[in-house]
């Protein structure tokens, strides 16, 4: 059997598959985020490790009869987080997460200091990436910066705890702004611009290769053999791609989780930083991918439900009862609760409801939220298409994939067929388990099959005129807000 561990932002998931790739057991454990100041988002790495140990204990009980058959472990993780370790491998400060936007000024400084940044790293400097976070720490917490012996990404902290080794993979490392994405190696010049060196970086492997083995201590604690392989793993979206079989050029999927991602596989390195499109390494050798990323997606719906005191299921049931006339008159919602990446690269962007009246109710606001997130995904598709990327259909994964209404709305908004899969909500953990299979010398074509289709949502041509008009108003609303903010 093969174990996949997916370290997300709101939870850690673990999943066990058998030799045929069928899911044997799965479980998850919640995580909390600390926001001690505006624009800050942090987590304690020790909480990740405690949650992982809890999951291992739970899955060990569920798979008690066959637990010892686990041959390899794969890792998936939230990208960009900065885990700072001292010379004793102790955590220096809480990890600064991908949706932390405090380092806006440091992004400007890095762009000025490294004019070849876009060419080497394939991306704009954004507060979400790891490099600006380290510049912020150097400026505002010099005592902490002076103690840094190693910088790790979140899932690689788990690997270190599991194996004792400091190793990362190409896909996750491409999100640091320190990787030469075309060469798939650390860039000494970009590290130097952040007053770091490759000595402070983990070793690099491909995501489908063997990275290390479980330490004897952890193997004993987990009831597994020390010969268990730990695969290189990858950033959550690239690993989710493995989970949905997005391994060939043109394969695409949308992930509706805490953030929203439109992911497409490329046969070569194709940076398009002018539109805040991300270009990263895939977890498979000699493959790359592009992503458009919005910082708040399904988390917008969670935020709204929390405010109005209703469950997501209850709200969606109410939204589904709205008429087409109601939806056409609903308020518009800007989903920028954490700033925004693609296409705006604007950490100061804020959320907004626009167009409310006395007749506006909870369901209309709820519809506006999921429509606004869908329009954010449409923004990403637009700039990917403008960069020359062609997409014929998209798989849908993440928590948002559980809503048939949302899937249909995406198909109507993007004018693309949207495909959901059985087990699609476990994309990252399934992809990690599949990487464990690949590290055990199984073939990509045998392992990375697309999961069984659950449903295909075709675009509804009748809705296109109304949604197009609302989308144009949505785009204008952001531009108007940008102008208003400039006056301040």
| Phi, psi angle pair for 240, to nearest 5° | -60, -35
Nearest by Cα to 8 from 299, 277, 264, 349:
299
Rounded Cα gap, residues 375 and 341, in angstroms: 14
**Three-state helix/strand/coil letters over 124-145:** CCCCCCHHHHHHHHHHHCHHHH
- The conformational region for residue 233 under phi > 0 = left, psi -120 to 50 = alpha, else beta, is left
Strands 167-169 and 229-231: unpaired
Tokens of 104: 């806006």
Q: Which residues of 184-206 are buried (b: 16+ CB within 10 A; e: fewer)?
A: bebbeebbebbebeeebbbebbb
From 172, 180, 236, 379, the catalytic residue: 236
- In sequence order, what are the beta bridge partners of 212? 230
Asked if 446 is an active-site residue, the reply is no
Pairing of strands 72-77, 234-235: parallel
Is 350 annotated among the ligand-binding residues? no
Contact 226, 215 (CB under 8 A): yes
Is 79 labelled as part of a ligand binding site? Answer: yes
Residues in the annotated binding site: 79-80
Residues in the annotated binding site for substrate: 79-80
Q: Which residues are catalytic?
A: 236
């Amino acid at each position: 059997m093969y174990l996949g561990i997916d370290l997300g932002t709101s939870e850690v998931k673990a999943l066990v598959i058998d030799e045929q790739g069928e899911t044997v057991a799965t479980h998850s454990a919640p995580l909390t985020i600390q926001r001690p100041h505006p624009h800050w988002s942090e987590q304690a790495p020790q909480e990740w490790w405690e949650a992982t140990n809890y999951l291992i204990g739970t899955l060990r009980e569920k798979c008690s009869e066959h637990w010892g058959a686990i041959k390899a472990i794969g890792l998936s993780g939230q990208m960009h987080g900065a885990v700072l370790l001292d010379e004793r491998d102790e955590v220096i400060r809480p990890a600064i997460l991908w949706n932390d936007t405090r380092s806006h000024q440091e992004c400007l400084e890095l762009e000025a200091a490294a004019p070849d940044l876009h060419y080497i790293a394939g991306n704009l400097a954004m507060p979400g990436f790891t490099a600006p976070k380290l510049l912020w720490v150097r400026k505002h917490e010099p005592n902490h910066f002076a103690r840094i012996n190693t910088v790790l990404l979140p899932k690689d902290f788990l690997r270190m705890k599991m194996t004792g080794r400091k190793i990362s993979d190409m896909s996750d490392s491409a999100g640091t702004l320190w990787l030469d994405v075309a060469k798939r190696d650390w860039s000494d010049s970009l590290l130097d611009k952040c007053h770091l060196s490759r000595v402070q970086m983990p070793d690099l492997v491909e995501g489908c290769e063997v990275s290390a083995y479980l330490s004897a201590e952890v193997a004993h604690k987990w009831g597994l053999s020390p010969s268990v392989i730990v695969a290189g793993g990858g950033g959550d979206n690239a690993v989710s791609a493995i989970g949905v079989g997005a391994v060939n050029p043109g394969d695409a999927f949308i992930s509706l989780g805490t953030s929203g991602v439109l992911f497409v596989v490329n046969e070569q390195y194709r940076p398009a930083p002018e539109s805040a499109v991300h270009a990263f390494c895939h977890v498979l050798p000699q493959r790359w991918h592009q992503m458009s990323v919005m910082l708040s997606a399904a988390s917008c719906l969670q935020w709204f439900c929390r405010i109005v005191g209703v469950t997501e299921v209850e709200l969606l049931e109410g939204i589904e009862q709205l008429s087409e006339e109601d939806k056409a008159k609903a308020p518009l919602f800007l989903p920028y609760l954490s700033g925004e990446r693609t296409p705006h690269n604007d950490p100061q962007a804020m959320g907004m409801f626009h167009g409310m009246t006395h007749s506006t109710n909870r369901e209309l606001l709820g519809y506006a939220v999921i429509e606004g997130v869908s329009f954010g995904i449409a923004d990403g598709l637009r700039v990917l298409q403008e960069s020359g990327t062609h997409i014929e259909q998209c798989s849908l994964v993440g928590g948002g994939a559980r809503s048939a209404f949302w899937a249909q709305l995406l198909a109507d908004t993007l004018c693309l067929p949207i495909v959901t899969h059985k087990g699609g909500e476990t994309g990252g953990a399934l992809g990690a388990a599949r990487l464990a299979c690949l590290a055990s010398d199984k073939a990509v074509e045998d392992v990375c099959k697309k999961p069984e289709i659950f449903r295909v949502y075709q675009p509804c041509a009748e809705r296109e005129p109304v949604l197009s008009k609302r989308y144009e108003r949505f785009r204008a609303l952001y531009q108007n807000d940008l102008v208003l903010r400039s006056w301040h």
